Structure 1
Amino acid sequence: MTRLAVAALAALLTLSALALPALATPQHALQLEEPARGPQVLVAGGTPAGIAAAVAAARKGLSVELICDRPYLGGLLTGAMMDQWDLNKAPDGGRIEGGLFRDIYDQLGESFDPQSAEAVFQRLVASYPEITLHLDTQLLAVTLAGPELDRRVESVTFQDRETRARLEIRAPVVIDATDGGDLAALAGARYDVGRQDTGLDTKMQAATLMFSVDGVDWHTAVRSYDDTRYGEGGATEKKLWGYTRLLRTYEPLSPRVIVRDLNLGREPGGRVTVNAVDVVGVDGRDPKSVAEGAAIARVEIFRLLAFLRARVPGFAHARLAAFADELYIRETRHILGLTLLTAADIWHGRIPYDTIGLASYPLDIHPTYVGEPPAYAPVRHVYGVPFRAMVPHGFDNLLVAGPAISATHVAAGSVRTIPTTIEEGEAAGIAASFSLRRGVDFASLALQRNLMHQLRTALVQAGAVIDVARR
């Protein structure tokens, strides 16, 4: 790898000037920190939100370092086999997402395979020389400056998992686009975990292991779907969902598993993905808990597949093709921002002055424990995502874009979806340019209506939709 060669050369050139231990070797030298770098924007997270942030900033001519914890771009879309969109729609059924999301959607379509998603993201990032990409690179440390209520992220240290070389990056603007708000949490930002805001406990929404199957007769499955027999559902050429009534007769093997319904996606090659197996009690911040949840789900999937073969038309010859590489973690932290998005904001369709994008996905709360009843009907209300929810309290050069923005446990059931996080990422990248060029910090930008008006104008010029009537 290129970075390995650079790191090794740098280490060798400095050996004579460093007091290395007597037994030091070139391998030890590789772990020395590289000199701090200075891009204009640092984006942590190769998620769809992180990619959108990096591209939006690059389009404004800013230099960007994009750090991806995974060995591939795309986050849950590629790693968790999330091969279809949870779309935001207007009351008339029209789309209310614009900008970068629309560009990506037009390339991938309604349903896609993880390889196609990865390729689209890779091409998108590679098309901007302003972006320097680091894959499979983990977050290690954050250095801060300034008083407690006016802190700045001074530098962030990462480590390449393959070479073990450390990389310290200094940037005037930092965007945390990790799914769990990992950088903000490491920097000391305040946050709730799971449903902590309810005062009950810190239980989190169930995690899901998706899987794919070959041998499904898709046309038979679609034609035979009957709401009376299987429960309310629906189908398109590439999507099929429902079976709630049928699955009430399914008895999970594990007491931690819930199978409420099926969400099926038909990939271009005919393979079918299945989103069905929820596992409760998984802490997405803890690798051991995640590994345990994935193991439980894998065993359960064999049992569920046998049930589907016997009970679902079109599945008689279905055979397991693959498990997703990782669990779909819906919820971990909610970073405290300058405002808190609530279920009431969503249910009443509030559009605040600092709206950076529109959303309408229902309040889709997956259970935190077996037997938890649904809290809200699957009804859509168009609402605005507030920029203030992306600004961590007490920080002036840090933004959060992704499922970890400032929202309650229930509100996160809607705002966590990937199209919405892409809107947030694009807004973060454009806000980075606005902040640097105007010399204004994010807290001031968020709280001054005249500045927010200017930022929203820039978002609209980039294709974002912030007004249903003008989409």
Structure 2
Amino acid sequence: MYALLLCAVMTAPQPDETVRGSYDVVVYGGTSAGIGAAVQASRMGKSVIVVAPEVHLGGLTSGGLGWTDSGLKEAVGGLALEYYRRVKDHYDKPENWKQQKPEEYRLYHRKDDAIWAFEPHIAEQVFEELVAESKFPVDRNEWLDREKGVTKEGTKIVAIRTLSGKTYRGKVFIDATYEGDLMASAGVTFTVGREANSKYGETMNGVQTRRAVSHQFDNPVDPYVVPGDPSSGLLPRIHAGSPGVDGEADNRIQAYCFRMCLTDDDRNRIPFEKPSGYDPKQYELLGRYLRTGWDKVFNKFDPIPNHKTDTNNHGGFSTDNIGMNYDYPEASYERRREIIKEHELYQKGLMYYLANDPGVPEPTRTAMSRWGLPKDEFNDNGHWPHQIYVREARRMVTDFVMTERHLRAIEPTPEPIGMGSYNMDSHNVQRYVDANGHARNEGDIQVSPGGPYPISYRAIVPKAGECTNLLVPVCLSSSHIAYGSIRMEPVFLILGQSAATAAAAAIDAGTDVQKVDYAPLQRRLLADHQVLDLPRPASQGRSAQSLPGVVVDDEAAELTGNWSFSSVVGPFVGTGYRHDGNTDKGKKSAIFRAKLEPGRYIVRVAYTANNNRASAIPVRIHHANGIASVTLDQKKVPSKSDAPFVPVGTFDLDDKAAVEILNEGTTGHIVIDAVQFLKANH
């Protein structure tokens, strides 16, 4: 969360402390969650102050992430919904349409009560208006002394001190930073990285090579300095060594980037400049990828008002600076500044490279040259976002941990204080060389939880033995993959408000945050229009273990080519299915192998039918007497009694049984989900 602009000066604590006062609630962090918490505390009649390392308030919401990752809009309530309605009020004023007429922007409709795509300066303005209306103080550019700046008496924080020597006393403290610095300095247990699937009974945690099909290299790209020569070394931004074992834990975290606000309006555009320290060799891997014919550079230039974008990562080599942030969560302020500086250089250099380097195909160079930084955004930071996208850092570990099982409603979630609904979304974590000698990314997951889900109050309070007056709405207690969904800005606004409501309840009752009575807390949250429960659609997935016979899911299939993951159309086996995207015909295949006792088996193939599917898909069954070839029509809906399976024949099979599905010679999308082997009745 640390902007370069804010990091210029950090002084050591002064011998004579300046006591800034005593407050009911002290919020550390000027993120969306921090401002939401402070506004709610003020509205509940509590004295509150925001101690902010930032100068600009709102975190990512005002730092370039204007294409809101809201998920299901009905899950957003309370102050979060009020915020997006206030943003809409700004766009209802003609004077805020300076480069575009409102009717020209497809996501603006006057009849709507909220808007979910907006410019950074409008987002920041709304946060400032909320602060001004609530009349609580905000001390900016104040950085917690992480070594000696937290004073505790027993399990209670009494005061925090910043590097400038200011001391802030409070009854309840809220850590609203993306990094969890106050939480960690207060001695609260936390983790960094990915847990093993086995730790919490998950399926999408830990190392993920098989699932990493999005934002992937769609074409083979040589990773070596001298193509084909491993002894020449690896190109920049590729990591040596094995990516690890699927499902196993590691300490890596998903990639960071800046959510750039760009414009193609010449009246407001600053062309991309060559940054100091620019090195075109850093982008050679991208150049090679582009020269294979990949041309989807511009697929995440999401439009926001006034001919601007929220430009996000897309593809195998893009704005995500993969693998360059591993030490950020626990790093010193100085080291974090270095990491942020490197990310800024990387991303500015990337834009300059795409617009100017002769190794970039001419159509891409010409198209990128149309874009630039807007003159009317981030004016005091060279028109560059003041907020790096900290997609994850520390995560608290307490008595209750939000996991994939809670998000998917396999296990109940106690004492809800808000809801999430976005995909379980992890960006890539590392780039490596695969067994075929090609560059490959690892870590990307984009899987729906299956519907909206509640987030527990227990996930934002530390263990009672560690701290009894601290609430953590951002770096909350969650597994890596569950946090991939929870970490969205509307959810942080929701949890910030709920944390402040709980803080006020603890103060009024004179009790620890762990002992807050949930029933009155729930009543107040509902009175303030928080959404705590929504109907959830019936699960479309069936576990392979629950089905008869031997079932091999697509997770265990041997894949050739890049297959995209989806869970949009059900029913299906497991958490979803893969499809070929109706691309690269003849280059993609999947083999489902099973070690069976010799015998006669009915072979059934699972898929989700749709009109856009292929109707003559080659399927090869490797049986005891040879290979049988059949075709599969995935436009045809499986019978209700068999769904999602259709039989493709009965065969004599043994421990070398395999079913191969190809996309050769097909027209339309091909789905691979699972293959079932049922013993035939004699």
TM tier relative to shorter chain: 0.7 to 0.9
Partner of residue 344, structure 2: 294
Inter-partner Cα distance in structure 1 for 2:48 and 2:339: 33
Secondary structure of residue in 2 paired with 1:207: coil
2:254–2:427 Cα contact (<8 Å) kept? yes
Match for 1:101 among 80, 97, 118? 80
The count of corresponding residues between Structure 1 and Structure 2 is 388
Q: Pick from 468, 473, 487: which aligns with 1:416?
A: 487
Please identify which structure carries the higher helix content: 1
1:175-223 per-position Cα deviation (integer Å, ceiling 9, x unaligned): 1101111101011111111225656321111001232333269xxxxxx
Aligned alpha-carbon RMSD (Å): 2.9
> Residue 429 of structure 2 contacts residue 443 of structure 2 at CA under 8 Å; is this kept in 1?
no
Q: What is residue 525 of structure 2 aligned with on the other side?
A: 459
Alpha-carbon distance between aligned partners in 1 of 2:493 and 2:13, rounded to the nearest angstrom: 39
Residue of structure 2 in register with 1:83 after alignment:
66
Which amino acid is 1:191 matched to?
F
How far apart are 1:134 and its partner, in Å? 0.7
Of 113, 124, 127, the residue aligned with 1:118 is 124
Alignment of 1:212 with 2:258, yes or no, is no
Letter in 2 for 1:136: N
**Among 378, 387, 405, the residue aligned to 2:457:** 387
Structure 2 distance, partners of 1:132, 1:274, is 33
Q: Deviations over 1:360-396 (max 9, x none)?
A: 1000010111221544534542111111110012211
Aligned residue number for residue 328 of structure 2: 284
Q: Distance in 1 between matches of 2:12 and 2:38?
A: 33
Mark the runs of 5 or more structure 2 residues left unpaired by the alignment. Answer: 1-10, 88-114, 197-205, 207-247, 267-284, 291-295, 314-318, 375-382, 432-440, 537-682
Q: After TM superposition, give the deviation of residue 315 of structure 1 in Å.
A: 5.8
Alpha-carbon separation, structure 1, partners of 2:450 and 2:361: 30
For residue 111 of structure 1, what is the amino acid of its counterpart? A
Of residues 327, 340, 344, the one that matches 2:388 is 327
Q: Which residue of 1 aligns with 2:309?
A: 272
Please give the alpha-carbon distance, in whole angstroms, between the structure 2 residues aligned to 1:119 and 1:362.
Answer: 29
Task: Indicate the residue corresponding to 2:506 in structure 1.
Answer: 435
Task: Give the match for residue 44 of structure 1.
Answer: 28
Structure-to-structure mapping, 1:201-350, within 5 angstroms: 201-215=250-264, 251=288, 262-276=299-313, 277-281=319-323, 282=325, 283-285=327-329, 286=331, 287=336, 288-305=338-355, 310-311=363-364, 317-321=370-374, 322-348=383-409
Equivalent position amino acid for 1:172 in 2: K
Q: Which residue of 2 aligns with 1:193?
A: 192
In structure 2, the partner of 1:425 is: 496
Instruction: Give the Cα separation in 1 of the matches to 2:362 and 2:56.
Output: 33
* Alpha-carbon distance, 1:36 to partner: 5.8
Judged with a 3 Å threshold, the aligned counterparts in structure 2 of structure 1 residues 29 and 409 are, in CA distance, closer, same or farther, namely closer
Over 3 Å counting, the alpha-carbon distance change for 1:251 and 1:183 in structure 2 is farther
Contact 2:31–2:60, Cα closer than 8 Å, also in 1: yes
CA contact (8 A) 1:362 1:381 kept: no
CA distance in 1, matches of 2:30, 2:257: 20
Equivalent position of 2:150 in the other structure: 142
Q: Is the 8 A contact 1:351 1:384 kept in 2?
A: no
Contact 1:55 1:125 in 2 (8 A): yes
SS at match of 1:412: helix
3-state SS in 1 of match to 2:386: coil
Deviation at 1:463, TM superposition (A): 0.8
SS state of the match for residue 427, structure 1? helix
CA-to-aligned-CA distance 1:300-336 (integer Å, 9 cap, x gap): 2223456698259976733454532342110110111
Distance in 2 between residues matched to 1:184 and 1:280, nearest whole Å: 27
How far apart are the structure 2 equivalents of 1:29 and 1:251?
50
Quote the residue 1:399 is aligned against: 471
Aligned position for 1:444: 515
CA distance in 1, matches of 2:444, 2:13: 55
- Determine if contact 2:354/2:364 at 8 Å carries over to the other structure: no
Contact 1:50 1:178 in 2 (8 A): yes
Q: Distance in 2 between matches of 1:444 and 1:414?
A: 27
Partner of 1:177: 176
- Larger Rg belongs to: 2
C-alpha separation between the residues in 2 aligned to 1:35 and 1:319? 45
- 1:333-369 Cα offsets, whole Å, 9 max, x none, are 0111231111121123655231101111000010111
2:286, 2:346 → 1: CA distance? 20
SS in 2 for 1:323: coil
For 2:51 and 2:20, locate their aligned partners in 1 and report how far apart those are by CA, in whole Å: 15
Indicate the residue corresponding to 2:161 in structure 1: 157
**Contact kept in structure 2, 1:196 and 1:203, CA below 8 Å:** no
* Structure with larger RCO (C-alpha < 8 A, sep 6+): 1
Alpha-carbon distance in 2 for matches of 1:443, 1:28:
34
Q: Against the structure 1 CA distance between its residues 415 and 260, is the aligned structure 2 distance closer, same or farther, given a 3 Å change threshold?
A: farther
Give 1:468 deviation, angstroms. Answer: 1.3
Mapped partners of 2:71, 2:468: distance in 1:
30
Question: Whole-Å Cα distance in 2 between the matches of residues 157 and 190 of structure 1?
Answer: 21
Change (3 A) 1:251 1:59: farther
Which residue type is aligned with residue 278 of structure 1? Answer: D
CA–CA separation in structure 1 for the residues paired with 2:13 and 2:344:
37
Q: In 1, distance between residues paired with 2:21 and 2:264?
A: 51
d(CA) in 2 for partners of 1:268, 1:379 = 30
TM-score by length of 1: 0.76
Q: Cα deviations across residues 267-307 of structure 1 (Å, max 9, x unaligned)?
A: 33212231121012213333122322332222122234566
3-state DSSP of counterpart to 2:137: strand
SS for the counterpart of 1:127 is helix
Partners of 1:193 and 1:57 lie apart in 2 by 30
The share of aligned pairs that are identical, in percent, is 28
Distance 1:122 1:61 in 2: 20
